[in-house]
């Protein structure tokens, strides 16, 4: 059963605070098991009010077998979650300030009056969709905290995710995008 984003973040936050190094070690072992999987999607949170990516939001590498959700713990650190994350429902539905004032007390905004924060395919990284994962590696600092997740793909391209966003690069090492989120 898929977990919602808040449940996943709460679990990761507790785990990371207790033993971030163990989380890194366990994550590396789990990542190794995913080699050979195909990338089904790359997702992040979209803010419908501002029509932009939600800064600092998790990025999900959706594989055929499971999701690898990468959450920012304390910038610049990441904590990965391996499992299934609920991405079908909006994370939040919020009226704009003008709509909230216009609605008045006791009025519930309709769907057309709301703007949602929801999961959306991270188009700048869609190059990775359909590619086979050769390796998922983690870049760490000297204390073992995860700074980046790097997905090495079957065509020598890489997808590098940090707390600052994601970038996809082909074998020439030239970025296809500077920063997705």
- Considering only the C-alpha atoms of the chain, give the largest distance between any 2 of them, rounded to a whole number of Å: 58
In the chain (181 residues long), the average pLDDT of successive 10-residue segments reads 88 92 95 97 91 91 96 93 91 57 52 70 91 97 95 93 84 49 51
Establish how many alpha carbons lie within 13 A of residue 146's alpha carbon, considering only the half-sphere containing its beta carbon: 30
pLDDT for 107 = 52
pLDDT at 105: 57
Task: Tell me the pTM.
Answer: 0.82
- Pair 179, 170: CB distance under 8 Å: no
Contacts of 32 (CB under 8 A, 6+ apart): 136
Residue ranges of domains in the chain: 5-169
Neighbouring-strand partners of residue 93: 116
pLDDT of residue 93: 61
Check: CB of residue 34 under 8 Å from CB of residue 28.
no
For position 113, what pLDDT does the model report? 40
pLDDT at 49: 84
């Amino acid at each position: 059963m898929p977990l919602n984003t808040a449940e996943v973040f709460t679990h990761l936050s507790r785990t990371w605070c207790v033993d971030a190094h163990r989380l890194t070690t366990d994550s590396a072992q789990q990542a190794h098991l995913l080699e050979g999987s195909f990338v089904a999607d790359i997702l992040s949170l979209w803010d419908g009010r501002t029509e932009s990516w939600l800064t600092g939001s998790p990025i999900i590498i959706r594989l055929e077998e499971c999701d690898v959700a990468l959450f920012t713990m304390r910038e610049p650190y990441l904590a990965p979650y391996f499992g299934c994350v609920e991405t079908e429902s909006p994370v939040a539905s919020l009226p704009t300030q003008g709509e909230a004032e216009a609605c008045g007390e006791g009025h519930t905004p309709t769907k057309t009056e709301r703007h949602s924060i929801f999961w959306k395919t991270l188009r700048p990284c869609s190059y990775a969709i359909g590619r086979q994962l050769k390796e998922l590696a983690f870049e760490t600092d000297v204390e073992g905290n995860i700074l980046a997740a790097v997905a090495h793909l079957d065509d020598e391209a890489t997808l590098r995710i940090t707390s600052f966003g994601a970038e996809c690069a082909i074998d020439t090492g030239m970025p296809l995008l500077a920063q997705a989120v």
